[in-house]
Structure 1
Amino acid sequence: MTIFFLKIEYLLKSEFEEPLMKGKQKIIDAFNALLANELAAIDQYFIHSRMYEDMGLTKLYERLNHEMEEETTHADWLIKRILFLEGVPNMTKRRDLLIGQDVKSMMENDLTLELEVVACVKDAIKACEEEQDYQSRAVLEKLLFDTEEDHVYWLEQQIGLIEKIGIQNYLQSQLA
């Protein structure tokens, strides 16, 4: 019976006094740096999508709304992981926005942002490996896949189309 109470006491003590998972500050900082990029991407895609809508480019408007939703999902993953690691998500920090004035410059600016996100994710993955935080790395690997295989790929494809068929033909293809 004494062993039973000692076990209960140990479990209660460890649950309330020592957290089971306390993240390394290096990982929390890396996730907050990524969060700043994701929040900026949400804002940048929001502005660009409304500019496309104003231009009557319905397909681009719809695509950027989709991208904005995905960036919101990425930010959600990062916030949840930061909280799990007992950190504080920094919701006020953002990287500078790169707002284009025409379709091609908007896409080029969005690509610049996404490539910066890719570099930041890769740095964060290295930090996770150094700290042996494989669960955080798994979150980042999902984010990296989405960013490289969807966002970057689509933007490079669209910029390539503009160069191949010309801006006027491209714009015509993006109407409703």
Structure 2
Amino acid sequence: MKGNTTIIDLLNKQLTLELSSMDQYLAHSKMYENFGLGELHHKLAHEYDEELDHAKHLIERILFLEGKPDTASRAAIKVGTNAEEMLSNDLAAELSVAAHLKKVIAVCETEKDYVTRDMLMTLLDDTETDHIYWLEQHLNLIKLIGLPNYLQSQMRQRAGS
């Protein structure tokens, strides 16, 4: 099915953002593992997998619309040097992802591409209610209990980690 080129271009931009977030989560996940912060390592590894899933959905939709997925482009990523900076950088990336999703959703509405809109709404829900909410919650925990206490709470190793 030949899709709208504007929507395909916007989906490719969204794909770039999702793949960039995935790269940042991978780097941060491995850093947390290296720091001995098993809980954060596990959570960010999970977020990496979710970003990969988002990218797969976008690629499938771009292909369905007879577009060419751009899997090579990346936005600049910001790898932090400590847990608080890493969480803040991840939040900034997710807020950017959510803002662009809303833009693409609005264009889908205008162009009457309701199937793409619905797929993007699912991604937006996951981005806002899981990723952004969790990051805001953990940055708030740092403010409430202090960075040393927060880091101690994230040191537990999971079985198989």
Same fold, TM exceeding 0.5? Answer: yes
* Identity over aligned pairs, percent: 51
Structure 2 counterpart of 1:129: 109
Instruction: Supply the distance in 2 between the matched residues of 1:172 and 1:93 (Cα, whole angstroms).
Output: 37
Structure 1 counterpart of 2:2: 22
Query: 90, 95, 98: which one pairs with 2:70?
Result: 90
Aligned amino acid, residue 34 of structure 1: Q
Bigger Rg, structure 1 or 2: 1
Is 1:157 aligned to residue 132 of structure 2?
no
Q: How many residues in Structure 1 have an aligned counterpart in Structure 2?
A: 156
Q: Which runs of 5+ in 2 are unaligned?
A: 157-161
- Counterparts in 2 of 1:8-157, with a 5 A limit? 21-157=1-137
* TM-score of the superposed pair, with normalisation by structure 2: 0.96
- What per-residue deviation string (whole Å, max 9, x for no partner) do you get for residues 32-76 of structure 1? 010000000110000000000000000000000000000000000
- What per-residue deviation string (whole Å, max 9, x for no partner) do you get for residues 85-115 of structure 1? 0000001111001110000000000000000
Aligned amino acid, residue 63 of structure 1: K
Deviation at 1:131, TM superposition (A): 0.6
Structure 1 counterpart of 2:148: 168
Instruction: Supply the distance in 1 between the matched residues of 2:28 and 2:155 (Cα, whole angstroms).
Output: 16
Aligned amino acid, residue 95 of structure 1: A
Deviating 4+ runs (over 6 angstroms): none
Instruction: Supply the distance in 2 between the matched residues of 1:97 and 1:136 (Cα, whole angstroms).
Output: 27
Higher relative contact order (CA 8 A, sep 6+): 2
Instruction: Supply the distance in 2 between the matched residues of 1:30 and 1:129 (Cα, whole angstroms).
Output: 13
